[in-house]
């Protein structure tokens, strides 16, 4: 890897074949290419992943694509925020080499019918509440990794289960991309940054804070010696309800690889939450114990 000399201005690609040719040209010069897949509406969390990607690669590419196949009918695909100008300004402030922002037909041309069925780790948690979601994610991520011929791909811990699903896909399909996890970036009060936070009105924003509070309290209980994962999950759920969430889809303490709920804490254990505040569904997690 060579040292970057100046902050690049992103070249924007709408067509996937031109983007793929550019990535190939970089690789033929011996440069490592890293990709950060996003759906746009970028915040500091996304930009932190681009910066992390730069630490691992010579060329950083960011995709901005609101992927229709990972939304079920009735979810927020149509109203998902689209903030192109601000996104590009943000990416140029941190310095990325290319942005892939394709129209949907470029990714899914007429007759497209090949999908990547995700592993079992996609079935609990999000898989229970958004049954077709991860198949949309694995399919688009496989395609993006191939388009970029990515040496590295960076994903956020914020979507912990997504990372587990993608890691297994990459391993089992022998995709030669190294997957890197970036930490969850939070607002100063603890709320995990999310493109969906903008849906919250001020009163909902206050109640949304109970998610990170409950997760941090869970982590504190572990630091104080609690080992019983079921007790931890019960307390987590109670804290969320007490904190004013309108409903909780799940609040679990799970194995960090399989995401199966645990009875007793073990290395790599994670606490994961999905809940609703008003019409907004939010997810968050904390790692409770380091992997051994």
Tell me the catalytic residues.
46
Q: Which of residues 188-217 bind ligand AMP (CB under 6 A)?
A: 192-195
Query: Residue 48 and residue 156: Cα distance in Å, rounded?
Result: 9
Shortest distance, position 51 Cβ to ligand AMP, whole Å:
11
Q: Quick one: which segment of 53-61, 75-83, 151-159, 262-270 binds ligand AMP (CB under 6 A)?
A: 151-159
What is the rounded CA–CA span in Å between residue 3 and residue 246? 49
Residue 139 binds ligand AMP, judged by CB under 6 A: no
Binders of ligand AMP in range 58-117 (CB under 6 A): none
Query: What are the start-end ranges of the H helices in the chain?
Result: 16-28, 44-56, 84-94, 104-107, 126-129, 133-148, 160-172, 202-223, 229-242
Q: Which is nearer to ligand AMP, 164 or 288 (CB)?
A: 164
SS3 label, residue 42: coil
CB under 8 Å to 207, separation ≥6 — which residues?
A: 243, 244, 245, 246, 277
Q: Compute CA distances 261 → 52, 106, 213, 265, whole Å.
A: 31, 39, 21, 10
CB of 159: closest distance to ligand AMP in angstroms? 4
For the packed helices 133-148 and 160-172, what is the interaxial angle rounded to 10 degrees? 60
Q: Is 168 among the residues that bind ligand AMP (CB under 6 A)?
A: no
**Of 175, 185, 206, 289, which lies in the binding site for ligand AMP, with binding defined by CB under 6 A?**
185
Choose, by CB under 6 A, the member of 19, 155, 199, 250 that binds ligand AMP.
155
Tell me which residue has tokens 């194995």.
255
Please tell me whether residue 26 adopts helix, strand or coil conformation: helix
Single residue of 46, 54, 143, 205 touching ligand AMP by CB under 6 A = 46
CB of 211 to ligand AMP, least distance (A): 12
- Count the residues of the shown chain that bind ligand AMP, applying the rule CB under 6 A: 17
Least separation in angstroms between residue 228's CB and ligand AMP is 29
User: At closest approach, how far in Å is the CB of 232 from ligand AMP?
Assistant: 23
Tokens 């970028």 sit on residue: 42
Q: Is residue 177 close enough to count as binding ligand AMP by CB under 6 A? A: no
Binding site for ligand AMP (CB under 6 A): 38-39, 45-46, 48-49, 155-156, 158-159, 182, 184-185, 192-195
């Amino acid at each position: 890897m060579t040292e970057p000399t100046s902050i690049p201005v992103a070249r924007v690609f709408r067509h996937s074949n031109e983007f793929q040719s550019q990535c190939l040209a970089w690789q033929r010069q011996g440069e490592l290419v890293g990709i950060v897949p996003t759906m746009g509406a970028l915040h500091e969390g996304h930009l932190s992943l681009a910066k992390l990607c730069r630490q691992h690669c010579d060329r950083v590419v960011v995709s901005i694509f609101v992927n229709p196949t990972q939304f079920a009918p009735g979810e927020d695909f149509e109203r998902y925020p689209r903030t192109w100008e601000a996104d590009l300004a943000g990416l140029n402030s941190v310095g990325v080499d290319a942005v892939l922002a394709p129209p949907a037909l470029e990714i899914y041309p007429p007759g497209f019918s090949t999908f990547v069925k995700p592993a079992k780790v996609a079935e609990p948690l999000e898989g229970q509440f958004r049954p077709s979601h991860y198949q949309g994610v694995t399919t688009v991520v496989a395609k993006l990794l191939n388009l970029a011929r990515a040496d590295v791909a960076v994903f956020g811990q914020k979507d912990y289960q997504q990372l587990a699903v993608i890691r297994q896909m990459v391993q089992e399909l022998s995709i030669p991309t190294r997957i890197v996890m970036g930490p969850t970036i939070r607002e100063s009060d603890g709320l995990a940054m999310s493109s969906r936070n903008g849906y919250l009105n001020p009163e909902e924003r206050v109640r949304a804070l109970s998610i990170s509070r409950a997760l941090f309290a869970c982590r504190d209980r572990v630091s104080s010696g609690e080992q019983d994962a079921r007790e931890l999950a019960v307390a987590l759920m109670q804290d969320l309800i007490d904190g004013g969430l309108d409903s909780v889809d799940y609040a679990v303490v799970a194995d960090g690889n399989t995401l199966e709920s645990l009875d007793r804490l073990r290395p790599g254990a994670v606490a994961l939450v999905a809940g609703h505040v008003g019409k907004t569904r939010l997810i968050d997690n904390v790692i409770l114990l380091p992997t051994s």
